[in-house]
Structure 1
Amino acid sequence: MDKDAIADLIEEKNEALINWLSNQEDDNWLNGPDGKWTPGQHALHLLHSIKPLNNALSLPKFVLRYKFGKSNRNVRDYSTVTNRYQERLKDVKGKTYGPSKNMKIPTVSEKQYILNRLQVEGKKLQYKTRKISNKNLDNLILPHPLMGKMPIREIIMWTAHHIEHHTNTLKDKY
């Protein structure tokens, strides 16, 4: 998948998420199915996953190479990455990582801020995806808590799928 297609996919998936969340009543922001995340927590979780990626992509590329290394394999296609993620999700059975572990329930007063931040971080990721060289997209790697080390192109494709995964969960269960 070329970088323009990935950036367009990020935009499409992020827009669908933000539109769905924006059209929900404020009361729904705070309520999820028994023992499951609220829509606000889903939004905060996605923000927690996109922001560190943007931060990493802002670093000089030699820092990423030094800290995480270079890829020793070919980049996988979108469907391979997404299928692998779905398999890994079955193995962890709802376990969360990083800042999303024991996540607070965002208040209704935080809703617009979180939606704005998701939109801004999505636009940043689109911009960074279009600007990074194909060589760096394919050769530099970043760690993913569930998937292990991944080439940057794969982790950005995964991000698009991750947004879609949570949007579909919200539409199906809320």
Structure 2
Amino acid sequence: MHKDEIADLLEEKYLTLIDWLQIQDNEKWTQGPEGKWTTGQQALHLLQSIKPLNDILSMPRFFFKYAFGKNTRDLHDYDTIVKNYQETLKENKDYIFKASKNMKIPKLKDKTYILNRLQVESKKLQYKIRRISDKNLDTLVLPHPLMGKMQIREVLMWTAYHVEHHTKQLKENY
């Protein structure tokens, strides 16, 4: 997938999420299905996953090679990344991203802040995607907490799917 397509896909996925969250009844922000995250926790989780990605993509490129090595396999397409992620989720049903463990329920007064931060971080990521070279997207890798090392292009495609995955959960269950 071309980097402009990834940036556009991220914009679409985040807009869909944020639009849905904005029209959802405010009292549902602190509610969720029994034993599941609340709507606010879902939004906060997505913020906790995009913020570190933006932070790390701001680092010098030599850092990636030093810290994580270089790509050693063929690039996966979007559908393969989605399929692999779904299979990995099934195998690790109880896995929770470290930053999202024991997450407090965001208060309703934090809703606007979290939605604004999601929007800003999404725009930052789209900008960074358009600026990074195709070579770096395909040769530099990042560690994914569940999927292992992935090329930056794959992480970005996964990020778009991750937002879609949580938006779908919210629409179906909240």
Q: Normalized against structure 2, the TM-score is what?
A: 0.99
Rounded Cα–Cα distance in structure 1 between residues aligned with 2:86 and 2:41: 20
**Are positions 1:133 and 2:143 aligned together?**
no
The Cα shift of 1:113 comes to: 0.2
Q: Quote the residue 1:65 is aligned against.
A: 65
Aligned pairs, number: 174
CA distances 1:93-130 after superposition (whole Å, capped 9, x unpaired): 13202110111100000000000000000001100011
For residues 119 and 126 of structure 1, the distance between their equivalents in structure 2, rounded to whole angstroms, comes to 11
Q: What amino acid is aligned across from residue 164 of structure 2 in structure 1?
A: E
The alpha carbon displacement at 1:70 in A equals 0.4
Equivalences for residues 16-95 of structure 1 within 5 A = 16-95=16-95
Alpha-carbon distance in 1 for matches of 2:91, 2:104:
25
Task: Provide the rounded CA distance (Å) in 1 between the counterparts of 2:74 and 2:11.
Answer: 25
- Match of 1:149, SS state, is strand
One-letter amino acid of the structure 2 residue matched with residue 22 of structure 1: Q
Corresponding position of 1:150: 150
Determine the C-alpha separation between the residues in 1 that align with 2:169 and 2:50.
18
Superposed CA offset, 1:45-73 (max 9, x none): 00000000001100000011111110001
TM-score by length of structure 1 reads 0.99
The whole-number CA distance in structure 1 between the counterparts of 2:118 and 2:157 is: 17
Moved more, 144-153 or 94-103: 94-103
User: Aligned partner of 1:113: which letter?
Assistant: Y
Distance 2:105 2:80 in 1: 33
Gaps of 5+ in 1: none
RMSD: 0.6
1:113-152 Cα deviation digits (max 9, x unpaired)? 0000000000011000110000000000000010000000
Post-superposition shift, 1:16?
0.2
Fraction of identical pairs, as percent: 62
Q: What stretches of structure 2 of length at least 5 have no aligned partner?
A: none
Aligned residue type for 2:112: Q
